[in-house]
Amino acid sequence: MAIGENDIIVCEGVKKWFGDFQALTGVTTNVKEREVVVVIGPSGSGKSTFIRCINRLEQHQEGVIAVDGVEMTNDLRNIEQIRSEVGMVFQQFNLFPHLTILDNITLAPIWVRKRPKDEAEELAMGLLQRVGIPEQANKYPGQLSGGQQQRVAIARALAMEPKIMLFDEPTSALDPEMIKEVLDVMKELAESGMTMVVVTHEMGFAREVADRVLFFDYGTIVEEGTPEHFFTNPQHDRTKLFLSQIL
């Protein structure tokens, strides 16, 4: 695949095995700057594995992944640099339970980005404002609702001022009444021009926000296209089956 000028993520023939089990069977796709890509597919199809390879929480064994022009190799400094430019939001929030909300957000900017503490705190308060919960700054994660925790997790990732944000089923662990508050934050983020790769089962979000949808099955992209294409005129039998089950 040709590398376009503003392709910020490049994946070519990415393969990944867990022992003998092949989780990714050759993924090839590029993500442009400011693009919002939604990844859907049945459980166990390799969606998480794919986006975790993008910031090297998993190592792929074959193929090429390059982020912002830097190819993913085993060089440790390479990895830390890429990671500080790629924010990630997990299904289980993974906030640091022993730190306050403010400390959760400022820890990495202070120690990884080497920002002065007061500057980092100012930035953090601004982000908490943006996700709508500035009044929770001095609480601990355990004192917040799931939706609030996930919004803090988004603020924590944004505090590193990443170029790309990865979301792995950010609303799947939430009670229904909290899903919207998190999706609203993500929509606002997409509108602001952030490059995003989002694994989700929220078809409404995909339809409204995505520039492109990837359908994963058996460790590879079975079908890709715009949301209209997907929800009105899917081509592949597996895609049709999946959509009929989920919609």
Partner 1 sequence: MAESKIVLPDLPGAEYAPEPPPQGPVVWMKENLFSTPFSVILTIIGGLIAVVSLRGIFGFVANPERIWQAVTTNLRLLMVQAYPDQHMWRVWVSIGVVVVLTALSLAAWRVGGRTSGRKLTGNVMALGGLLAIIGLVADFPFEMNVTWAGIGLALAGLGYMIRRMMGERAKAENIPVLAVAGGLLIGLVASLWVLQVPVPDPDSGIRAATTELLANTTRIPWLLLLITGFVAYGIGIAIRDWKPSRPLLVAGWALSYPVIFLHILRGTRMNNLSEYLLIGLAFLVAGAAIIYALVNLDIGESGRLISGILLIAALVTWATPVLIIIRLLLLILAVFALAAPTFGGSGGSKYRYMGIYAGTVVVMVYLMLLATGTSAVQTQSAVPFGGFMITWLLAIGAVALSFPIGVVLALARTSSLPLFRVMATVYIELVRGVPLITWLLMSVVVFPFLFPEGVEFEDVVKVLLFFTFFSAAYLAENVRGGLQAVSKGQAEASNALGMSTMQRTAFITLPQALRAVIPALVGQVIATFKDTSLVAIVGLFDILLIAKNVVPNQSQPFNFLGSIKENLVVVALVYWIFTFIFSRVSQRIERNLGVGER
Residues that bind Mg ion (CB under 5 A): 48
65 lines the binding site for ligand ADP (CB under 6 A) = no
In the complex, least distance from residue 26 CB atom to partner 1, rounded to whole angstroms: 25
- Which residues, 6+ apart, have CB-to-CB distance to 188 below 8 Å? 130
Nearer to ligand ADP, 23 or 210 (CB): 23
Q: Closest Cα partner for 86 from 102, 65, 100, 111?
A: 65
Is residue 38 within 8 Å of 200, Cβ to Cβ?
yes
Nearer to ligand ADP, 18 or 111 (CB): 18
What strand order describes the sheet that includes 62-67?
21-32, 7-18, 62-67, 70-71
Which listed range, 15-23, 73-81, 85-93, 105-113, lies at the site for ligand ADP (CB under 6 A)? 15-23
Nearer to ligand ADP, 46 or 234 (CB): 46
In the complex, least distance from residue 116 CB atom to Mg ion, rounded to whole angstroms: 38
44 lines the binding site for ligand ADP (CB under 6 A) = yes
Q: Which does 6 bind (CB under 5 to 8 A by kind): partner 1, Mg ion, ligand ADP, none?
A: none
Residue in 8, 11, 47, 60 binding ligand ADP, rule: CB under 6 A: 47
- CA-CA distance, 120 to 122, in Å (whole number)? 5
Show the tokens assigned to 109. Answer: 């900017």
Show the tokens assigned to 154. Answer: 């988004």
Is residue 197 within 8 Å of 27, Cβ to Cβ?
no
- CA-CA distance, 40 to 56, in Å (whole number)? 20
- CA-CA distance, 93 to 147, in Å (whole number)? 9
Residue in 29, 30, 48, 150 binding ligand ADP, rule: CB under 6 A: 48
Binding site for partner 1 (CB under 8 A): 55, 57, 80-81, 83-84, 86-88, 90, 92, 94-98, 107-108, 110-112, 114-117, 119, 139-143, 156-157, 160
Show the tokens assigned to 76. Answer: 């440790």
In the complex, least distance from residue 130 CB atom to partner 1, rounded to whole angstroms: 18
- CA-CA distance, 237 to 247, in Å (whole number)? 15
Which listed range, 38-46, 107-115, 157-165, 182-190, lies at the site for ligand ADP (CB under 6 A)? 38-46
In the complex, least distance from residue 29 CB atom to ligand ADP, rounded to whole angstroms: 15
Cβ neighbour number for residue 126 with a 10 Å cutoff: 13
200 lines the binding site for ligand ADP (CB under 6 A) = no
Give the binding site for ligand ADP (CB under 6 A): 18, 21, 23, 41, 43-49
